[in-house]
Amino acid sequence: MNFIGIIPARYASTRFPGKPLALLGGKPVIQRVYEQVVKALDDAIVATDDERIFQAVEGFGGKAVMTSVHHKSGTDRCREAYVLQGKPYDVVINIQGDEPFIQPSQLDALKACFDDGQTQIATLVKPFTPADGWDALENVNSPKVVVGRDMRALYFSRSIIPFQRNKERAEWLSGHTYYKHIGLYAYKAEVLAEITALPQSPLELAESLEQLRWLENGYNIKVGVSQVETIGVDTPADLEAAEAFLRKHTNANKHI
């Protein structure tokens, strides 16, 4: 199978306007994302609605397409970009444009999900550990995933699921493996066309989680497991943390 990575990148952001062009270690954030993605996939393209981002990507030698300003989700922008780029691929991987430390191992884990011919959509999770603590588990901005024995997603929630009825909360992290959702998605190309035509669903509206629309409509989502924890850049404070992370790991691993 062949894989293309599409990186939606918007200039407008309430918490951090222009973040794809913010400099991280002397390079725009979007360039760092792009350079990581092309290490693992057959091709990559940035999908943007802003001429400044388009020009920046072309300036560092990357590929970009201009997409509509009216998209409500990164998945919709991803679909338009896939059509515009014009080449057929088996699988489209949607990579957030604010993840400059995404690792090839994470993308390889997503690709491996399609070794199962029944996979329509794939995503990643990372196990919570007791060291993460209760606050991390309870964080509503960190969705949790319940998976079946076949590693297919049963449900995504901002709440802590499952509820352990017969244990004190202090024992929950040691008594069960909870999975943190990592916001990477891969779709068979024909499935991407189908899911972007679906209306919003009741569960999606309740939790504000787009992937629930797909589950409600009967699509199966295969789950890959990663032990990698990366730093996303949502705010200027995140950028400062990313700079510190980059300095630390550049000294230890010159390839980052």
Cβ 37 vs Cβ 5: under 8 Å: yes
Residue 87's CB is within 10 A of a number of other CB atoms, namely: 10
**Splitting the chain (256 residues) into consecutive groups of 10 residues, what average pLDDT does each group show?**
95 87 96 96 95 97 94 91 96 94 95 96 96 94 95 97 93 94 95 96 96 97 92 89 86 54
Closest CA to 20 of 52, 42, 43: 52
Cβ 236 vs Cβ 16: under 8 Å: yes
Whole-number pLDDT of residue 74: 86
Per-residue CA distances from 74 to 13, 225, 227 (Å): 13, 22, 25
Whole-number pLDDT of residue 253: 58
**163 phi, psi to nearest 5 deg:** -80, 130
Closest CA to 158 of 179, 178, 180, 143: 143
Question: Residue 8: which residues within 8 A CB-CB, separation 6 or more?
Answer: 46, 47, 48, 67, 74, 77, 78, 81, 94, 96, 97
Collapsed DSSP state (helix, strand, coil) of residue 160: coil
Please give the model's pTM, rounded to 2 decimal places: 0.92
pLDDT digits (tens, 9 = 90+) for 51-95: 999 999 999 999 999 999 888 888 999 999 999 999 999 999 999
The Cβ-side half-sphere exposure at 69, using a 13 Å CA radius, reads: 5
Whole-number pLDDT of residue 229: 78
Q: Domains of the chain, with CATH numbers?
A: 1-100 (3.90.550.10), 103-229 (3.90.550.10)
User: If phi over 0 gives left and psi between -120 and 50 gives alpha, with beta otherwise, what is residue 136?
Assistant: alpha
- Antiparallel, parallel or unpaired: β 23-24 and 221-225: unpaired
User: If phi over 0 gives left and psi between -120 and 50 gives alpha, with beta otherwise, what is residue 61?
Assistant: left
Per-residue CA distances from 227 to 79, 84, 125, 136 (Å): 29, 34, 8, 16
Closest CA to 69 of 57, 55, 58, 54: 54
